[in-house]
Amino acid sequence: MKQNFKTIIYKREGNFARITLNRPEVRNAISIEMGVELNAALNQAKADENVRVVILRGAGSAFCAGMDLKWAHTATVLEYRKWMETLYWELTDIMCGLGKPTIAALNGPALAAGCTIAFSCDMIIASDKAYIGYPEINIGLLSAKHIILLPRIVGRLKAFELVITGEPLSVQEAERMGLVNKVVPHDKLEEVVDELASKVAAKSPLAVKLTKEAFYRGLDMEFRKAIADAGDIACVLFNFEDTREGMRSFVEKRAPVWKGR
């Protein structure tokens, strides 16, 4: 069901769902309301069979500056926990179970909880004007998700440096470390993101959904079990009509016609 949002903009264009964090006056700082609306928008995209790819970006000059500190410095621990539940546990579960690839388009800085949103996405394309950082330590907070996520991407030593110093990281260095997929000129960001989204949207939606499911299930499993589980999912996918159509179209040298079944 279509919803009206106050802190984000949700728009479907063809096979893309575009979600824009829309509090530019505070560099898209995340309130509880924004977190709840973001999760609702993602669930709306999940329920829409026409959506093949979800694109997240920020309004104005920033992707997201992190938690709304004007709210947080007077919040109770129960209110803070609600914010954490929304932005960490609920968002992670929704993203992993979305069944559709997500792309973060970093149009500007992504800091602290802004990184939480960006790195919850499956792929990140960054403007050369963007940068990332984990400044929570500078105000006495813990960069919760990132002390778990970062070592898995960049290794223990560099990850510890990033979360313990709070110093920003250029997107060029982030790309070298494997934290973003690609850095592009600022005025080319939307074009490059749309090209990537179009490539993904052209694939079988069933194959994409099950590939994403196998990918994230595998990250939570012991290696040998993950290999077996991915093989089981591949066998299930093999029997779908789309898979047969994909193989048939290759043999017949034509473009496949996906039916989503």
Q: How are beta strands 16-21 and 102-106 bridged, if at all?
A: unpaired
Buried-state track 112-145, b at ≥16 Cβ within 10 A, e below 16:
bbbbbbbbbbbbbbbbbbbbbbbbbbeeebebbb
Please check whether residue 168 is in contact with residue 131, taking contact to mean a CB–CB distance below 8 angstroms.
yes
Count CA within 13 A, CB hemisphere, residue 212: 22
Residue 75 CA to its chain's centroid (Å): 27
Residue 53 CA to its chain's centroid (Å): 11
Q: Is the pLDDT of residue 108 over 80?
A: yes
pLDDT band at 6 (very low <50, low <70, confident <90, very high): very high
CATH superfamily of 8-201: 2-enoyl-CoA Hydratase; Chain A, domain 1 (3.90.226.10)
Burial of 71 from C-beta contacts in 10 A (0-12 / 13-18 / 19+): middle
Q: Where in the chain is the domain with CATH 1.10.12?
A: 205-251
Q: What ranges make up the beta strands (E) of the chain?
A: 8-13, 16-21, 53-58, 102-106, 110-111, 123-127, 131-133, 169-170, 182-184
Q: What is the mean pLDDT of the chain?
A: 92
Share of the chain above pLDDT 90, in %: 70
Span 51-66, average pLDDT: 97
Q: Is the pLDDT of residue 92 over 80?
A: yes
Position 4 scores a pLDDT of 85
Using DSSP, state whether 19 is helix, strand or coil: strand
∠ CA(209), CA(212), CA(215), 5° rounding?
150
pLDDT band at 2 (very low <50, low <70, confident <90, very high): low
Position 18 scores a pLDDT of 98
Position 7 scores a pLDDT of 97
pLDDT digits (tens, 9 = 90+) for 205-233: 999 999 999 999 888 877 677 777 777 77
pLDDT digits (tens, 9 = 90+) for 68-83: 999 888 989 999 889 9
Burial of 211 from C-beta contacts in 10 A (0-12 / 13-18 / 19+): middle
Span 107-125, average pLDDT: 96
Is 136 marked active-site?
yes
Choosing among 1.10.12, 1.20.81, 1.20.1410, 1.10.150, the CATH entry for 205-251 is 1.10.12
Q: Taking Cα atoms as reference points, which of 238, 233, 242, 236 lies closest to residue 205?
A: 242
Position 58 scores a pLDDT of 98
Position 135 scores a pLDDT of 92
Q: Is the pLDDT of residue 1 over 60?
A: no
Candidates 49, 136, 161, 175; catalytic one: 136
Q: Where in the chain is the domain with CATH 3.90.226.10?
A: 8-201
d(CA 208, CA 199) in angstroms, rounded, equals 11
Question: Worst-scoring range by mean pLDDT, 36-45, 56-65, 234-243?
Answer: 234-243
Please check whether residue 229 is in contact with residue 214, taking contact to mean a CB–CB distance below 8 angstroms.
yes
pLDDT band at 196 (very low <50, low <70, confident <90, very high): very high
